[in-house]
A and B are shown apart, each in its own frame.
Chain A
Amino acid sequence: MAPISRGFRRRHPDDGQSGRLPPGQYLERDFPVLSAGPTPRPDLSSWSFSIGGEIDEGRSWSWDEFQQLPRETVTKDIHCVTKWSKFDTTWEGVSLDVLLDGVQTEAGFLTAFCDGGYTTNLPLDDVTDGKAWVAYTYDGEPLDPEHGGPARLLVPHLYFWKSAKWVRGLTLTIEDELGFWEQLGYHERGDPWREQRYAGD
């Protein structure tokens, strides 16, 4: 039972949206930027997205090839571990179901890798069956570099650090191998509805 903070009360009216907010989150109308280092600005002519690791045959797409893949537009609520949530964000990109279609693998997990060296780990079950995308537009515009452009992972049902910016590919793994923030004490899965912010939550 949390102790009462004497005199503390909600300052912003509950606009009926609080059921959409996971525990400990607040509603943000802007789109804050969080990242661990400078914003990479890769050259699209040498950009590729690849899938390797525990897979029968590796796959890779150039930027142009990636644009030819079937695309989807999705509108999702997103939740950052730094406590802000943002409702109804609209993205366009390629479903991981398309990228992983027909893959033969023993893997149960993957590590997303990115320009700038960032990594994050995810169970395959969290990125298949319409749960994850590689997004390259936000709100109808090409994704800004500071928000992860040219392309970022989008896994909206988990805390947003799992939606790796500047993603360049996936390595399929048998075991769950901790990524950048996960090695620094953040939760290995990061379900906002269970408030899995930090290791052990």
Chain B
Amino acid sequence: MGRLASRRQETPTAHTFVIDVPGWPGHRAGQHVDVRLTGEDGYQAQRSYSIATPADDERIELTIEVLPDGEVSGYLGEELREGDEIELRGPIGGWFAWGPQDGGPLLLVAGGSGVVPLAAMVRDRAREGSDVRAQLILSARTEADVFYRDELRGLAADDPALDLELTLTRERSPAWTGRRGRVDRTLLEELAIAAADRPHAFVCGPTAFVEAVADALVDLGHAAELVRTERFGPSGA
């Protein structure tokens, strides 16, 4: 059982929930929790959400995109207030996880809210003072949709071993002078840590994004066993 310590708006559609979980055993960056809601009539719904932060005593943070018609995300986004109890279980997963002791290089590729478990890895690496070479390639619709953008830019600016590459697929503002378009084979060939360096690759996002990126990485010579994926279903709610 957790208790909401605070919440903040991350983007126009996503919120970060800071949750205290007495007895939390700790976790690895990349792992997730199951959140379960119970109505007064006993109706229950549960969903999995990635943890956005590295292990930090009994506190975890979840960043959750509120989906239109999302039964669980909609409730959390609209109803959950400071001090509310929230039933959760975890940490879960152990495959899509990384820590500085696992070494690198580290190639992280995210689509949209898929950045959440990868941000936990970037934050863990920074907090531990790791000098493992790391790259985060992040695709979002618009600049306003990029989770943690000021923090990630700050981390990359302060750390020559951390490269942040942002590409936007639907940004209309001419003020955006950075990269535009999807993460495809051409972009990965140009930007991503090369297959010859045998990076640990983690790819997270919607199914079509993950399929395309993982296929392209294998096509570029990355060993399939070094490419780990996590996908969000089309209506993961």
Contacts and interface: CB of A to CB of B under 8 A. Distances in A.
Contact of B214 (A4, A37, A180, A181): A37
A5 B47 CA distance: 14
Contact of B84 (A6, A24, A146, A180): A6
B229 A38 contact: yes
Contact of A26 (B45, B48, B211, B227): B45
Contacts of B95: 36, 180-181, 184
Interface in A163-201: 180-181, 184-185, 197-198
B211 A33 contact: yes
Cβ-closest 7 pairs across A and B = A32-B233, A38-B214, A2-B38, A5-B37, A184-B94, A11-B71, A33-B207
Given A24-B36, A28-B235, A36 B87 contact: no
B104 interface: no
A84 interface: yes
A39 B214 contact: yes
Interface in B182-237: 207, 211, 214-215, 217-218, 224-225, 227-229, 231, 233-237
Contacts of B224: 37-38, 40, 116
B79 interface: yes
B204 to A, nearest CB: 12
Interface of B: 1, 34, 36-41, 43-48, 69, 71, 74-75, 79, 84-87, 89, 92-96, 207, 211, 214-215, 217-218, 224-225, 227-229, 231, 233-237
A140 interface: no
Interface string A4-26: 11111111100000000001101
A102 interface: no
Given A37-B229, A38-B224, A39-B214, A2 B69 contact: no
Given A32-B234, A37-B228, A116-B224, A8 B79 contact: yes
A10 B47 contact: no
A117 interface: yes
B87 A39 contact: no
Contact of B71 (A12, A82, A181): A12
A84 B236 CA distance: 8
A74 interface: no
Nearest to A185: B94
Q: Could you tell me the dominant secondary structure of chain B's interface residues?
A: mixed
Contacts of B85: 3
Given A37-B228, A84-B233, A5 B211 contact: no
A39 B235 CA distance: 21
B38 A3 contact: yes
A30 interface: yes
Contacts of A67: none
A38 B39 contact: no
A5 B92 contact: no
Contact of B44 (A24, A28, A34, A185): A24
15 contacts: A4-B39, A5-B79, A5-B86, A6-B84, A7-B79, A8-B39, A8-B75, A9-B39, A9-B43, A11-B71, A11-B74, A37-B225, A39-B211, A83-B46, A197-B34
Nearest to B233: A32
A60 interface: no
